[in-house]
Amino acid sequence: MTRLLPRLFYGFLLTLPLLPSIAKCQDSDSALIHQMSDDILTRGMAYENLRTLCKGTPARLSGSANAAKAVEITRQLLLDAGADTVYLQPCMVPHWVRGAKEQAYLTMADGKKLILHVCALGNSVGTPAAGINAPVIEVRTLAELDTLGAQGILKGKIVFLSYPMQQTFVNNFAAYGDAVMGRVLGPSKAAKYGAVGFILRTLSMSDNDYPHTGVTGYDSTLPKIAAFAISTNDAGKLSTYLRLRKVSTLFMKASCQMLADVPSYNVIGEIRGSEHPEEIITVGGHLDSWDLAEGAQDDGAGVVQSIEVIRALKAAGVKPARTIRAVMFMNEENGGRGGEAYAAAAAKDGKKYILGLESDYGGFTPRGFSIGAKGAQFKKFTAWKSLLEPYGASLWVMGGGGSDVDPLSKVGAIVGELVPDSQRYFEYHHAANDVFENVNRRELLLGAVNMAGLIYLVSKYGI
């Protein structure tokens, strides 16, 4: 006890003269973040920018005319926000087209027809022009698909994978992670056993008539079969009718195609750093969206929040020590080419990429940040928690970034993501109801406040 006293006392003396300056820093940072928050919540442009993006360019799927138009719209929004420099970064993107509206119906044992709410999964091939009419067989998991496939039962059939997102997960992203491989791997697994079509219970936590699309993949060594999603309501009906042996066949028809790659762009707006311009902080969202929707939560929200970071810093008169870039990434949904192009350029330009922060979990009430850092670097982030907690960011977890900024970790950047409340995202994700009207203005703006606060702190203190 006594032996410790002198050391403690010495430590106290050492820290004493520092206390007022630390407190002063915290006070001035707190005041600046408060000022930006007031500005964003009263004069912020994120909500109106989201309206412009969603209503002007819904269905911004890579390679589409609306994706090209969205590049021009956000270029202008970044200029309006006050970025010093705005430029386009080229990347080639896949160009998948859905074609005519998909059709699917059941022919029941009694001869009646039942129309189903379906959509093709992204990157799916079409069916033959006349469609496919075949018996349908339900599997609950990919493992069961393998078991039945090995018994030769799936040959000539349409495979219906009915695994629901599990309600027992509290975090809906964990439920999505648990279920999504069925969408990605299911079609080729079914094709391996001779199935002629694939239909997936929509990845959604709620019961309704909206089918949700999303990317699927094909094993190039196997035949490519058409892959659909079916709404949760209709998936429930299909399960019941199959159990009661009331279904004769399922008809599915689609004319989707993958066309040749086309040129497109990431859109970048920058505020140049005043002391360390070579140190780059990236904040972004993805500009492309699925073709069924306006891409409001996914990911117009992240796009306009990132633009708002630039606007709010400029409006507050911040001259950041390090360079801040807002990046609107292209092609997150069905290729990830924008994120790859950005990281490939970063690997060559001799600059130091210190942080890549993305918002791609929807514009819902912010809860905190996921940060891909460990040890002292992670502690540096959590030391800022008290400054952002008043705006909702109380959850700081070791994790990773969004898929557009993840490639930046290869060039040494720490990657992270805004973490909002997850309970409603999968009602809208990749479905026709992901529209501007389903984004709450206050929730969206509060996300921008937290992003602007964190970016400001990193720009001032580095990592």
Closest by Cα among 315, 308, 320 to 269: 308
- Considering the complex, what minimum distance in angstroms separates the CB of residue 299 from Zn ion? 4
Helix (H, G, I), strand (E, B) or coil at 304: helix
Distance separating alpha carbons of residues 331 and 343, to the nearest angstrom: 14
DSSP 445: H
- Considering the complex, what minimum distance in angstroms separates the CB of residue 298 from Zn ion? 4
* Alpha-carbon torsion, ordered 285, 288, 294, 295, to 10 deg: -40
Q: How many helices (H) and strands (E) does the chain have?
A: 13, 17
- In the complex with Zn ion, the residue whose CB is nearer, 193 or 329, is 329
Helix (H, G, I), strand (E, B) or coil at 253: strand
How does DSSP assign 15-79, residue by residue?
Answer: HGGGHHHHHHHHHHHHHHHHHHHHHHHHH--HHHHHHHHHHHS-S--TTSHHHHHHHHHHHHHHH
Distances (CA, A) of 169 to 59, 70, 173, 183: 30, 35, 9, 19
Distance separating alpha carbons of residues 36 and 317, to the nearest angstrom: 10
Which residues of the shown chain bind Zn ion in the complex (CB under 5 A)?
298-299, 360
- Considering the complex, what minimum distance in angstroms separates the CB of residue 402 from Zn ion? 7
Cβ atoms of 256 and 63 closer than 8 Å: no
- In the complex with Zn ion, the residue whose CB is nearer, 105 or 425, is 425
- In the complex with Zn ion, the residue whose CB is nearer, 279 or 360, is 360
Could you confirm whether 294 is annotated as catalytic?
no
Cβ atoms of 247 and 241 closer than 8 Å: yes
- Considering the complex, what minimum distance in angstroms separates the CB of residue 285 from Zn ion? 8
- Considering the complex, what minimum distance in angstroms separates the CB of residue 288 from Zn ion? 9
C-alpha R_g of the chain: 25
- In the complex with Zn ion, the residue whose CB is nearer, 270 or 333, is 333
- Considering the complex, what minimum distance in angstroms separates the CB of residue 403 from Zn ion? 8
Task: Find the distance separating the first CA and the last CA of the chain, reported in whole Å.
Answer: 37
- In the complex with Zn ion, the residue whose CB is nearer, 228 or 428, is 428
- In the complex with Zn ion, the residue whose CB is nearer, 59 or 137, is 59
- In the complex with Zn ion, the residue whose CB is nearer, 127 or 264, is 264
Residue 81, both tokens = 């926000």
CB-hemisphere CA count at 13 Å for 394?
6
Closest by Cα among 403, 414, 406, 408 to 361: 403
- Considering the complex, what minimum distance in angstroms separates the CB of residue 426 from Zn ion? 12
- Residue of 138, 332, 333, 427 marked catalytic: 332
Distance separating alpha carbons of residues 328 and 454, to the nearest angstrom: 18
Distance separating alpha carbons of residues 95 and 340, to the nearest angstrom: 17
Closest by Cα among 235, 251, 253 to 243: 235
- Considering the complex, what minimum distance in angstroms separates the CB of residue 360 from Zn ion? 4
Distance separating alpha carbons of residues 249 and 237, to the nearest angstrom: 14
- In the complex with Zn ion, the residue whose CB is nearer, 131 or 302, is 302
- Considering the complex, what minimum distance in angstroms separates the CB of residue 454 from Zn ion? 20
Cβ atoms of 106 and 249 closer than 8 Å: yes
Question: Which residues are annotated as catalytic?
Answer: 332
